[in-house]
A = this chain, B = another copy of it.
Amino acid sequence: MFPLPARNPAAASAGVYTLQVFVTEAPMLQRILVLLALLTGAAPAPAADLLPSWRDNAVKARIVAWVSTVTTPGSGGYVTPNDRIAVFDDDGTLWPEKPRPQGMFALQRLRAIADGHPEWRNRLPYQAALELGSKYLQEASDDAVLQLVAAAHAGQTQEGFRREVRSWFATAQHPRFARPYTGLVYAPMQELMGYLKANGFRVFVVTTGSIDLVRALAEDMYGIPADDVIGSSVVSTLREEDGQLVIRRLRTVHALSDGASKPLFIDLHIGRRPILAVGNVGSGGDIDMLRYSQDGRGTSGNPPTLQLLVRHDDFEREYLYDEDNQASVQAANARGWLVVSMRFDWLRIFGDN
């Protein structure tokens, strides 16, 4: 699409180069402009076209104003691109968590091999998952879901596991929405991640679920590279088999990325405090991550930070749920986090694909 730039003979001595850019697609032009803007540290990318699924109201305005502040030199809250770190929770923040998609993935495998595991019949969470299926996975704890994921594919190589994840999610349909799980990314969140990246942010997904599972999907589903996913893990082991080194998964949970672990895992993986953190109500598991992002204000040049908390308050288009004690919303109100209502702030929930 680009010819190499030919030096303009008329302007050779002045060091002027002319690039003839033949643009046939608007998205490509947009990418080029964004890259050029980033290269040159030019003005923030415009929000108007990049957040079409967000209602034009105070919530959207606050997001846009904050991004403008941290990306505008001289704004008083300018943050260099290196420190523009954003973290997003996954289940319930980027796509639905009812029933837990990775629980559904583990379940089909547990069912297939259950005959060889009579011990699962009387032990939780296996018994509940096998007997109640997706109903159980509407309510199961993060810890229980990760135990299912670990047990279902114990012994498999990491490469084999990733292949199986991609293969199952390529066709498996959500029981209520009758489309593939991977087609259920929240459109406003997809747009928000794109808007942030266009403004020089690095965007990380911090899932409470299996890091390996989310990673196998993140590139296609979210446009996030595999290494920018942080999450829970199972114990794995390096083995020599037929003279080759392979990594195999064991059935033991290594670490659960939830609550207070999220800031620790973010620190271990990224090594910087995020200036933006996005989570959702439902378990209270994102409170520490949002606090950690906010409490970084005093530590390195006092950057303005932003925290978003998504409320599942849309019974008709998605789900309606909250914590019994409403701890997340109370923390949001006490600390000035921006509460995002799926019902009122999002013009649409899912994309067209």
Contact = CB atoms under 8 A, between A and B. Distances in A.
Interface of A: 1-2, 4-5, 14-24, 29, 31-33, 35-37, 39-40, 42, 82, 158-159, 162, 202, 204, 211-212, 215-216, 219, 225-229, 233, 236-238, 244-247, 260, 263-264, 267-273, 288, 291-292, 295, 298-300
Q: Which 4 A-B pairs have the closest CB atoms?
A: A226-B271, A244-B295, A19-B19, A215-B271
A35 to B, nearest CB: 6
5 contacts: A15-B24, A158-B271, A204-B227, A211-B271, A245-B295
Given A1-B40, A16-B21, A236-B268, 9 more contacts: A2-B40, A4-B33, A18-B18, A31-B39, A158-B267, A226-B271, A227-B269, A227-B272, A269-B269
A31 B247 CA distance: 37
A247 B291 CA distance: 12
Given A17-B21, A229-B271, A288 B236 contact: no
Contacts of A238: 260, 263-264, 288, 292
Contacts of A29: 17
A19 B16 contact: no
